[in-house]
Amino acid sequence: MPSWYEMSYLMSETNAYAINMFEILVGLAGAYMIVAYNVGAKLTRLQVCLLNTVYLLVSGLVSWSYLGWRFITGKMALEIQHLQESQGLAFQHLPNLTYSMYPVPQMVMAALISLAILLLSLVFMWSIRHGGKHIAAPHSLEENASH
């Protein structure tokens, strides 16, 4: 059985993996929205279907990985808590105690945030494709050069 310190280190590592997966998810959504804004209205229906399919598959895998790492982190936090109880250690040394005490609500929140990111980016593409107003830059460089 690993020691409390080893479990604590492993938990912090799995939490870091989860954070990295979330950063990748946000980066993917940002890139998707940039593509949607710049060329979304010019894409054919087939191109949009392919882009959305690839985006949803990759983002779904990243989201699944993110949720998996969050789940593992929660399980490890509970294991550390049990290890501390069996060894009589104080709970104030448990990293991320809030996560260990409430793993299910945090997993639900993480899933909802991932889903919201995916849905909002798809809605953004839909709004661009179906007559959404483009936000124009106040003064583009080309306009300034012509004046």
**DSSP conformation letters of the chain:** ---HHHHHHHHHHHHHHHHHHHHHHHHHHHHHHHHHHHHGGGS-HHHHHHHHHHHHHHHHHHHHHHHHHHHHHHHHHHHHHHHHHHHT--GGGSTTHHHHH-HHHHHHHHHHHHHHHHHHHHHHHHHHHTTPPP---SS-HHHHHH-
- pLDDT band of residue 143 (cuts 50, 70, 90) is low
What average pLDDT does the segment 23-29 reach? 93
Highest mean pLDDT among 54-58, 72-76, 81-85, 135-139: 54-58
Is a pLDDT exceeding 50 seen at residue 146? yes
Domains and CATH numbers, the chain: 4-133 (1.10.132)
- pLDDT, tens only, 101-131: 556 677 788 888 989 999 999 999 989 888 7
pLDDT higher than 90, residue 24:
yes
Indicate the average pLDDT of the chain: 79
Q: Give the least confident one: 10-19, 24-33, 47-56.
A: 10-19
| Residue 7: band (very low, low, confident or very high) from pLDDT cuts 50, 70, 90 | confident
